[in-house]
Structure formats: C-alpha cells, structure tokens
C-alpha cells in the first residue's frame, strides 16, 4: 500500500513515517518496476506500536533497542516509569519554589534573586532539574526558520505569478498556457504552506528533541 493509505490507517504523518524509516524502525519494500515504497500490513502494525510508545514519550533510541532485542519492553517501561517519576519530582520542586515566591507577595523588582538562585542551585546539586531554556529557544528558532523559509519561497513563487500575468498583458499569450503556468506556481505555494504546517506540527510535538533523550 502507498504512504497516503498508511497515514490514514495509523494517524502518523507522512513526514514522520519517513522519519521512522530513516531511523531504521520500519523497512518497507519497493514496488517492482519503480521506486515507490510498498507498505505491508506488518509495517502498519509496526507503526501503530511505534506510535503507542511515542505517545508515552519513549525515545526513538529506546524503541530501536526494543526492536533489535537489546532491551525488553518490560525493562523499557520500568526505566521510563523511573524517568517520569524523576520528572514529576522535578516539577514538584519547581512548583514549591513558585509557591514560596507567590506566598511572599513580592513584585518581580523586589524578588531577592540571590536567595532563590541559591535555593535552585542546592536543589540542582541534589539532582533536581529545572527548565531548559535552551530547549525552548531551539524550538522557537526552528519555528522561525521554518516560517522564514516558507515565506521567502511563497513570495518568490507569487512574484513569478505576478510577472507572468504582467508579461501576458504586454505580450499576450494563449490563455490556457497562462492559466496552466499560474496553476503550477499556485500549487507550489500551497505545497509550501502544507509543508510548513507539517513542520510546525512536528516541532510542536518535539519529535526531534524526543529522539535523543537518555
């Protein structure tokens, strides 16, 4: 079956299906006589299993180890539960610091930064992890880059459309030819916008960041 059908059956985007293939988690066959991927029912089942683990925030590397037989599902789940417990513990301590600041009724200008920095430092030495601002910055940078790229390419192709229409007024060409060329460039613009949406969804899900945990 083709990737569009697999996307409907699994609820996984085409881009992520290809991503999992690049990561070696699935290996679809090829149709005879061409290079189109031919996904089997087994590939669909594998993707559904991968989707389940990803929805539980299991990293790609852990899934690969399970598939390679280097890690059992039970060990993976136990390790992941420990990781989630540590995350919950981190959030509880962050919540406590927030509640301490709120209880003192201070304004931002009156907060004793040194006191809370020292408290955070001591907690970090005890194994507590506070928010990774670099992670959030990377995500924002990826979003900006994707939007900038899509905007530049869209403007580029829209400029071509305007140029074609203007040229047709100066030196008339067959209307069907003009409409065909304009339709091609409009399709490119729509394709770019769709690709942008898929990219922003991927960034929002944290697909790339999740792949390299642990």
Q: Whole domain around residue 93: which residue ranges?
A: 73-125
**Same structural domain, 63 and 86:** no
Residue 31 CA to its chain's centroid (Å):
29
Across 173-192, average pLDDT: 86
Q: Are residues 140 and 200 in the same domain?
A: yes
How many angstroms separate the most distant Cα atoms in the chain? 76
pLDDT of residue 214: 32
Number of domains in the chain: 3
Question: Are residues 138 and 202 both part of a single domain?
Answer: yes
- 141 and 197 in a single domain? The answer is yes
Q: Is 121 in the same domain as 189? A: no
pLDDT in tens, 183-205: 888 888 888 888 888 777 766 65
Please state, in angstroms and rounded to a whole number, the distance separating the CA atoms of residues 3 and 18: 9
Is there a contact between 196 and 150 (Cβ–Cβ < 8 Å)?
A: yes
* DSSP reduced 3-state for 16: helix
In this predicted structure, the answer to whether residue 132 has a pLDDT above a threshold of 80 is: no
Token couple for 41: 């029912």
Smallest Cα–Cα separation from 50: which of 66, 71, 29? 66
Do 118 and 77 fall within a single domain?
yes
Global pTM? Answer: 0.54
Mean pLDDT calculated for residue range 108-114: 86
């Amino acid at each position: 079956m083709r990737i569009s059908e697999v996307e409907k059956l699994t609820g996984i985007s085409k881009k992520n299906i290809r991503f999992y293939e690049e990561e070696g988690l699935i290996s679809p066959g090829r149709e005879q006589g061409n290079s189109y991927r031919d996904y089997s029912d087994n590939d669909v089942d594998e993707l559904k299993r991968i989707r389940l683990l990803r929805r539980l925030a299991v990293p790609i590397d852990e899934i690969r180890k399970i598939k390679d037989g280097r890690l059992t599902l039970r060990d993976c789940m136990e390790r992941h539960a420990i990781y989630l417990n540590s995350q919950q513990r981190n959030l509880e301590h962050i919540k406590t610091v927030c509640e301490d600041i709120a209880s003192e009724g201070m304004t931002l200008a009156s907060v004793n930064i040194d006191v809370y920095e020292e408290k955070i430092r001591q907690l970090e030495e005890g194994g507590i992890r506070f928010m990774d601002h670099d992670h959030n910055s990377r995500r924002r940078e990826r979003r900006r880059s994707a939007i900038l790229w899509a905007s530049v390419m869209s403007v580029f192709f829209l400029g071509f459309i305007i140029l074609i229409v203007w040229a047709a007024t100066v030196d008339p060409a067959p209307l069907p030819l003009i409409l065909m060329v304009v339709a091609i460039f409009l399709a490119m613009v729509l394709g770019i916008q769709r690709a942008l949406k898929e990219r922003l969804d991927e960034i929002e899900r944290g697909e790339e960041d999740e792949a390299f945990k642990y």
